[in-house]
Structure 1
Amino acid sequence: MRPVDSIRPAEGWLMGDRKRPFDFTLKALCLAIGLASSGLSGAATSDSEFDSQFLRGLGQNVDLSRYAQPGTVIAGDYELDVLVNRRDMLRQTVHVMDGDGPGEQHLCFSAADVQRWGVRVDQLPDQPQAQRVLASDCIEAETLIPGASFHLDMASLRGDLSIPQAYAGTVKRGYVDPAEWDDGVNAVILGYHANAFHSKPDSGEDSTDYNVNLNVGVNLAGWRLRHNGNYHYNDTDEVSEYAAQNTYARTDVDRWRAQLTLGEYFTPGSEFESIPFTGVQLGSDDSMLPESERGYAPVIRGTANTNARVTVSQDGHVVYETSVSAGAFAIDDLYATGYAGDLEVTVSEADGSERSFTVPYASVVQMLRPGSSRFNVAVGRYRDDEMHDEPSFAQATWRRGINNRLTLYAGGLVAEDYDALLVGSAVGTPLGAVAIDATLTRAEGIPYEHSELNGQSYRLSYSKMLNATGTNFSLAAYRFSSEEYVTFADFAHLKEGDASSDSLRERNRFQLSISQSLGEFGNLNLTGLTHDYWNGRPDQTTYQLDYSKGFHWGSLSLSATRDLEEDDESNTYMLTASIPLGDGNDHPMLSATATFDDDHSSTVRTNLSGTAGDERQLSYNAYVSRADNDIDTSTSFGGDLNYRTSATQLGTTYSHGDGYEQYSASATGIAVMHSGGVVFSPDRAETMALIHADGAAGASLSNGMGNRLDRDGEALDAGLTPYRHNSIAISPRGLPVDVELKSTSQTVTPRRGAVVRVDYQTRVGHPMLVHVDNDAVPFAAEVVDGNGQHVSLVGQGRMIFLRGEYPELQLKWGEGSGQSCRLQLPAPQQSDDISTTGYQQVEASCVPL
C-alpha cells in the first residue's frame, strides 16, 4: 500500500475551505516548470539549456538546471493510465525515484504490475538477472525486458509501454497479485439494525415490538469469525427471544483461490439444492480471480401502502426484517441466510393488515472459460434447530470448462440411507446458453415408506440476450421431478417423521424472466413462476407484466399481476407516475400510485420525497392514501425522516389511519473495535477500510456519503471490493487550519471481510507566509530542511509558504558560492492574521552561507 499523489502537484498548499495564499506565485511557478519541463513530450534533448532570463519579469534569474533533462519529474508516486503495446489500457502506479547522477531518474513498477502486463517471464534470455530484478523494490521495464521501453507523459498522466512481441503475452485485466491481498488488522465488529414499532389501535391494547438484527465478527490472524442473529421483544406478552442464524469462521486458501469455512454455513445452490450444515467446507471463490476470468442473492422489490414492516423468511426462518416508507421499496442487502428455497416476503402495514409474496431464489446458467474449474467440498451435519437427529453427509461438486462452447459439471452427495448423483453440461449455442442436468437419488429408512425410494430430477435452463430486438431472457428454467425423487432436505425432515415435507415435493417447476427494450417507447418486463406438487397440494402460478417509460416531465409505470391457485385467481393492476419538482439532484419528487383488483378494491396514494443538507444527509417522505372497497372508504397519512451522521443512521416513521396510529424509530450502523479504540460508521458492510490521520478531525471521505473523520482522526470506509484495488481518498474540506494532508489518496487491496488500516501522514502547525528580506534570493529557490529534504519553493516577491516549525531551513538556488543562505524565522507568536486570512504573515532574514 502506497500513497498516491493523484494529480495534485501543489498538495501541500491545501488549506481546507480558506482562500489559498500565494495563488499567483503558484501559477507563475507552474508556468516556469511547465516551460522548463516541456521535454517530457520529447521536444527537448539531453543537452537542452533553458534561458532563465525569459522569466526576468517574475524576479531575478532562476536556476532551471534541474529541469534541463527531458522527462524529469518530482520524485513520488503517480497514478497513470498505462497503454501496453498501443492496445491494452491499465490503471497502475509508477514510483519515481531520483538516481545518483544529475538528472538521473528511475521509473519503478512492482512485480504485480509486471504480471498484469502479461510478460512471458520464462522467455526472457537471462533468467538469473530477470529473477533478481523481479525480487527488487524497483522494476524498470527497460532493465527487465530486452528491447522494452516506457515513456511517461506527465501532461496527460499516461505511460506508453512497448514490449517486444517475443516477450509479450496476454494482458491480465483486473489481475491483482495475491501478495497484495491485505489481511487487515485484528478487530471486533458489531453491525446492527434496530427497530422499535409502537401501535395504537382505537380498540384494543397498545403494543410495542423491538427488533435488532445483529452481525458480530472478530478478525484475528487472517481468520474471520462471524455470527448473525436476531433479537425480538414484545411488551404485550413480555416475551423476548434471540434467534441465532449462524456462526462460522472463514479464511482464504490462496493456492486454490478458495475459502475454507468452519461452523454453521450452507452449501452453494448452483448444482444441488443449498444445504444448511454444521461442519467444514472448502470452495472456489470467483472474486479471488481476475475480472477477465470470472457471477447470488436476489433483490426484493415491492410496494408498501403505509410505513410498513417487511419480513423476509426462508424455509420458515426469519432472515431479515426492516421498516420501509410508503411507496416502492427495494431490499438489496440480504446476508447469506444458510437456508435453501424461495424467499417469502411479508409486508405488515401500519393498520395491521398483511400481504405476502414469493421471490424466486435461483441463478442463471454459468459457463466457464476453457481450462478453468470450480469446486466445492462440504462435510458436516444437516442443520435445523427443530430437528432431534440431523443426518451427517458429505457433498462434492466440480465444474470444468472444456472449450468455448462446452462446460461439464458433476456432483455427488453421500449420507446414511441417502445418495445423490448429478451430471450435466452447459452448452453455448448461437441461440443462447443452455444447461441440462440429471440428478438421481436413493433414499431409504423413511418411517412411513415401506420400500426404497429411487427418483430422478431433470433440469433445463436457458439464457439469451437478443441484441437485434433488445430482448433479454435473463432466466428460463424448467425442472421435472419423479414421484420418488427427494432432496436431501426433504429426506432429513421425512426421516425425522415430518410428514408435511412429503406434501412439499415438487413435480414440475417453471420460471421465466424476460425484459424487452422498446427504445424511446420504454421498457417491458415479464416474470413468472408456476409449480405443481405430488400428493395433491394445489398448483400455484404467479406472473407479472411491467411497463415503464421516462418523459421530459417525469416517468410512468404500469403493472399487472395474476395469482392462480387451482380454480382461484386474483388480478391486481397498478399505475404510478413520478414528477420531479425542480432541477438538480436535490429536487423533491412527487409520485402518485393507483392500485385496483378484482374485488373492486382500489387504493390511491400520493407521496412527496426528497433530501436536504449539504451532503444530502437528511431524507424525508410524506404520503396520503385513500382506500375504497364495496363496504367502506378509509384514509391514512404519514411520513418518515432519516438522518445520516458519520456514526449512525437514524430514522423515524409515523402513520395515522381510520382506527389506528403507529410510529417507529430505527438505528443502523456498525462499530469496529481495534487496538487504537472504537470507530463508528452508518454503513454496514463486510469489507472495510479503517482510516487514520492525526489531527484531521472533520475532514470528509471522498466517497460521496458525507462520512467525516472523528475527533481521533478516524473513520470507516465501508463496502470495499475484496481482492481488488480500492481507492481510499480524503477531502481536505473541513480540515482544521493548522493541519495539512501530505497525500489525499491511497490504494488498498483487502481480503474478504478484512478491516484494512489506511494511515495518512499529516503536517500539523500554523500556516505561515514568510517574506524574505534578502534581495539575492531569486524566484523558484528551493527551501530545504536540515536533512536536505525539500520543504517548499520561493515564490514571487520572495514569499514562502510554510507550515509548522523547523529547527533549520536553508534556501538554495544553485551549487556555487553565494547561492544559498540560512533562513532565520522569528519566534512563533499569537497573531490576528490567522483568524482573518487563515495564515500568519512574518518577515524573515536569510544569512548567506
Structure 2
Amino acid sequence: MNTLPKNWRSIKSYLQRDIHALKGQLIVGDSFTPSYLFDGIEFRGIQLASDENMLPDSMKGFAPVVSGIAQSHAQVTIKQNGYVIYQTYVAQGPFVLTDLYPTTTSGNLEIIIKEADGRERRFIQPFSAAPIMLRKDSLKYSLTMGHYRSPYSHSRKPYFFQGTLIYGLHNNLTAYGGVMLSRDYQSMVLGSGIDLGNFGSLSFDATHANTQLLSDKKSQGQAYRLQSLKALSLTGTHLTVAGYRYSTKGFYDFDDANHADNLNGNNRLFGRINKKSKLQVQVNQILGDFGGLYVTAFQQDYWGQSGHERGLGAGYNMSLGGINYGLNYTYSRTPDSGNHDQLFSFSVHVPLDRWLKNSWASYSLTSGKNSPTSQQVSLNGTVLEDNNLHYSLQQSYTNQGDGISGNIYTGYKGAYGRLNAGYNYQHHGRQLNYGVSGGIVAHPYGLTFSQELGETAVLVRAEGAKGVKVANNTGVTTDWNGYAVVPYASSYRKNRVALDPHSFADDVDIDINTQFVVPTKGALTLANFQTRVGSRVLMFLSYQGQPVPFGAITTLEKPHDLDKSNSTIVSSEGQAYFTGMPTRGKLQVKWGFQNAKTCLANYTLPEKQTLSGHPLSGIYTMKVNCE
C-alpha cells in the first residue's frame, strides 16, 4: 500500500481592514500584488490598494475562462506563479471552467489535466484583463512594501516596493504608470488607454527595466504592450481580448529576474526564461438560434529558443429542441521540440425531465493526434427536496489501452458541509475517492458548522428555530440552536437573506422572514431574525364572568418584565391569539381610559393532543379567567 505524503499549504494569510475613505483595503501579511500594470507576485508585507468590489458592477474586472478536453474522468489543476489556485474533477469530454478567480488579473495559468490512468497533459493559457480604462476622475491605485515570496527554493527573495496609479483623465482617455523597486531590480511603466468609439478601445504602455541577475550580470531592456477590446453588436461578435507584447532581449520582469539563472527544462517550458513576444486573441460569435462559436488562441516566443509556444481552442455549441450539442477542438505546441497535441470532441446532452425529474443523459466522443478514441455515456441528476444530492453514472469505451471503464459519483450538500464519494474502475485498477469540506464559524453566540465559507458570509440568527431553510441556498438550514451560515455573499452589495416559511416548525413564528444585509469584504455579517418559539394559542378571556372588552391589550409576563414582543389586542367575545407561548405563564390585561382597568390571568396549556405534542389544528383553544 502506498502512503502519499500529507502537507498543508496556505496561499495567503493576512489581516485586512477596509479604508472606506480611500475606497481600498489595507492588508498586512501574505498576499498578492495587483496586476493592472505589472504581473502579480506573492509577497509578505503591507499593502494599501483600491478595491474594485467597492465599485459598481459595470466597473469590476474579469476572470479568465479555461476550457479543454478530458479523455477520462480527470483531475484538473490550475496553477499561477507555481501555486495551486484551483482544482476540480471533470467528466470525460470537453469542459469549461467559469468559476475561476485567479489571484491576479494577468499572467500565465498552468493547466494540468491528470487522466484516470495517471497520464498528465500540461499547457499554458496566458490571460489579461481588457484594456485599462476608467471613467473620468476615477482612480485606481496600489502601494505595496514587503519581500518577494517565490515557490522555488533557489529563487532570490528580495525586499521590494511597488506603486501603481491609474487615473481617468477624460471619458475616453485614461493614463497610468507604476514603479517596481528592489536592490537588484528597478522598472517603470507608463501608458494610456483610449476609447475609440465604434472602433472599440485600445491601451498601450512601455516598461523599462534594469536587472542584476543572480550571476551579477547586469541587463536592461524594454517591453511594449498593446491591448484592444471590440464588440460588434450588429454581428454578435465579441472580440474579448486581443493583446500583443514585445520585449527586447535584455528585458526581464520581476518574477523572472529573481531566478533567471536557475533554469531547468521544466522551468523553460513554463515561462521561466527571457520572454520575447506574446500574442493572444479571444473571440466569441453569437449565432442566434444557431448557437454560438468561440475561438481562443495565443503564441509566445522566447529569446534564445527556437520554435513557438502555441495554443488554440475552438468550440461550437447549439441547442435544438431542448437538446444541447457541442463541438470542441484544442491544440497545443511546445517550443524547441515542436511537439504538438490536438484533441477533438463531440457531445450531446439530453434532458430527461419527462421521465426522471432534474436529470439528463450525455454522450461524448473524444479523439486526438496522440490519444486513443474514446466514447462515453453518462446519467446525471439531482434528487431530494432541495436538490442537494447530486449523482453521476458514467461508462466509457476506449479503442486502445483501458478498453471499458466507468465511474460512479455522488455528492451531498448539507447544512454542515459537503460530502462526496466516487468509485472508478478500469482495466489496470480501481479507485475509491471520498472527501468532506465545510467551515466552522466562531461568533459571539457560539460555534456554527457550515458549508465552505468563501471570502464573505452571512450569519443567520433565528434563535431557537431549528431546521429552517434559507431560501435560494441549497442545503443551508439552521442548526439545533437556530443558527446558519450563508456562504459566498457579495461584498459591498445588498444581499437578500430569506427564511422559507414552509420550513417553520409548528411552534415557530417569525414576523419578518426577509432581511437585506450589505457586508464588507471578508466580513461575517449578522442577519438577526426575531423569533418566537412556543405554542399557538387562541384564548377566550373573561373578567368577572364577562368577556374582556374589545380592544384590551394582553401581554405575556416575563420573570422580571413584560414580553412586549408577545402582545396582542383582544377582539370580539374576549378572543386573543398568541404565538410563541410557553407551556404555562401569566398574562397582563389592560383596558379602559389610559388603561385604568387591569387584571392578571394564569394559564396552563392542555395536555398533548397528538404524538407530535401539538393539537390537530396546530392551535390550542382554551378559556382563561382574568382576576
Match among 234, 238, 251 for residue 472 of structure 1: 238
Identity of aligned residues (%): 27
Shift in CA distance, 371/779, structure 1 to aligned 2, threshold 3 Å? farther
Considering Cα pairs closer than 8 Å and 6+ residues apart, tell me whether 1 or 2 has the greater RCO: 1
SS in 1 for 2:258: helix
Q: Which runs of 5+ in 1 are unaligned?
A: 1-205, 209-233
Shift in CA distance, 252/795, structure 1 to aligned 2, threshold 3 Å? same
- Structure with more helix by fraction: 1
Length, aligned pairs only? 607
Query: Is the Cα–Cα contact under 8 Å of residues 36 and 106 in structure 2 kept in the other structure?
Result: no
**Partner of residue 358, structure 1:** 124
Residue 718 of structure 1 aligns to which amino acid in structure 2?
Answer: P
Match among 694, 699, 703 for residue 472 of structure 2: 703
Query: Is the Cα–Cα contact under 8 Å of residues 241 and 281 in structure 2 kept in the other structure?
Result: yes
Residue 422 of structure 1 aligns to which amino acid in structure 2?
Answer: V
SS in 2 for 1:287: helix
Residue 791 of structure 1 aligns to which amino acid in structure 2?
Answer: S
Residue 200 of structure 2 aligns to which amino acid in structure 1?
Answer: G
**Partner of residue 802, structure 1:** 578
Offset of 1:301 from its aligned partner?
3.8
Q: 1:436 aligned to 2:204?
A: yes
Residue 278 of structure 1 aligns to which amino acid in structure 2?
Answer: R
1:78-157 paired onto structure 2 within 5 Å: none
The CA distance in 2 between the partners of 1:416 and 1:817, in whole Å, is 82
Match among 407, 411, 415 for residue 642 of structure 1: 411
Offset of 1:753 from its aligned partner?
0.8
Shift in CA distance, 645/531, structure 1 to aligned 2, threshold 3 Å? same
Query: Is the Cα–Cα contact under 8 Å of residues 275 and 340 in structure 1 kept in the other structure?
Result: no
Match among 142, 152, 163 for residue 396 of structure 1: 163
C-alpha RMSD of the superposition: 3.1
Q: 1:623 aligned to 2:398?
A: no
SS in 2 for 1:265: strand
Q: 1:791 aligned to 2:560?
A: no
**Partner of residue 385, structure 2:** 614
**Partner of residue 559, structure 2:** none
The CA distance in 1 between the partners of 2:79 and 2:405, in whole Å, is 28
**Partner of residue 186, structure 2:** 419
The CA distance in 2 between the partners of 1:268 and 1:503, in whole Å, is 21
1:476-555 paired onto structure 2 within 5 Å: 476-494=242-260, 504-555=273-324
The CA deviation string for residues 64-90 of structure 1, in whole angstroms up to 9 with x for no partner, is xxxxxxxxxxxxxxxxxxxxxxxxxxx
The CA distance in 2 between the partners of 1:335 and 1:570, in whole Å, is 27
The CA deviation string for residues 550-598 of structure 1, in whole angstroms up to 9 with x for no partner, is 1114111111223344654443221111000124994210010011223
1:93-492 paired onto structure 2 within 5 Å: 206-207=1-2, 234=4, 239-291=5-57, 295-326=61-92, 329=95, 331=97, 337=103, 341-385=107-151, 386-387=153-154, 389-430=156-197, 431-444=199-212, 446-447=214-215, 449=217, 452-492=218-258
- Structure with more strand by fraction: 2
Offset of 1:825 from its aligned partner?
6.0
Offset of 1:700 from its aligned partner?
1.3
The CA deviation string for residues 633-683 of structure 1, in whole angstroms up to 9 with x for no partner, is 711111101011210110011111112111100111111123433211123
Shift in CA distance, 337/403, structure 1 to aligned 2, threshold 3 Å? closer
Q: Which runs of 5+ in 2 are unaligned?
A: 557-561
Query: Is the Cα–Cα contact under 8 Å of residues 131 and 202 in structure 2 kept in the other structure?
Result: yes
The CA deviation string for residues 743-787 of structure 1, in whole angstroms up to 9 with x for no partner, is 312222222111123332222321112245699879984644387
Q: 1:839 aligned to 2:616?
A: no
Offset of 1:606 from its aligned partner?
0.6
The CA deviation string for residues 30-77 of structure 1, in whole angstroms up to 9 with x for no partner, is xxxxxxxxxxxxxxxxxxxxxxxxxxxxxxxxxxxxxxxxxxxxxxxx
Shift in CA distance, 507/740, structure 1 to aligned 2, threshold 3 Å? same
**Partner of residue 653, structure 1:** 422
The CA distance in 1 between the partners of 2:370 and 2:92, in whole Å, is 23
Shift in CA distance, 407/638, structure 1 to aligned 2, threshold 3 Å? same
Q: 1:598 aligned to 2:598?
A: no
Query: Is the Cα–Cα contact under 8 Å of residues 455 and 481 in structure 1 kept in the other structure?
Result: yes
The CA deviation string for residues 266-288 of structure 1, in whole angstroms up to 9 with x for no partner, is 21111011122222211111212
**Partner of residue 580, structure 1:** 351
The CA distance in 2 between the partners of 1:752 and 1:784, in whole Å, is 45
The CA deviation string for residues 157-214 of structure 1, in whole angstroms up to 9 with x for no partner, is xxxxxxxxxxxxxxxxxxxxxxxxxxxxxxxxxxxxxxxxxxxxxxxxx546xxxxxx
Query: Is the Cα–Cα contact under 8 Å of residues 389 and 496 in structure 1 kept in the other structure?
Result: no
The CA distance in 1 between the partners of 2:402 and 2:173, in whole Å, is 60
The CA distance in 2 between the partners of 1:585 and 1:749, in whole Å, is 39
1:673-692 paired onto structure 2 within 5 Å: 673-692=442-461
Residue 315 of structure 2 aligns to which amino acid in structure 1?
Answer: D
Shift in CA distance, 466/838, structure 1 to aligned 2, threshold 3 Å? same
Residue 120 of structure 2 aligns to which amino acid in structure 1?
Answer: E
Q: Which has the larger radius of gyration?
A: 1
Offset of 1:448 from its aligned partner?
6.9
State the TM-score, normalizing by the size of structure 1: 0.66
Offset of 1:845 from its aligned partner?
5.1
The CA distance in 1 between the partners of 2:375 and 2:566, in whole Å, is 69
Shift in CA distance, 572/295, structure 1 to aligned 2, threshold 3 Å? same
Query: Is the Cα–Cα contact under 8 Å of residues 248 and 265 in structure 1 kept in the other structure?
Result: yes
SS in 2 for 1:520: helix
The CA distance in 1 between the partners of 2:134 and 2:549, in whole Å, is 63
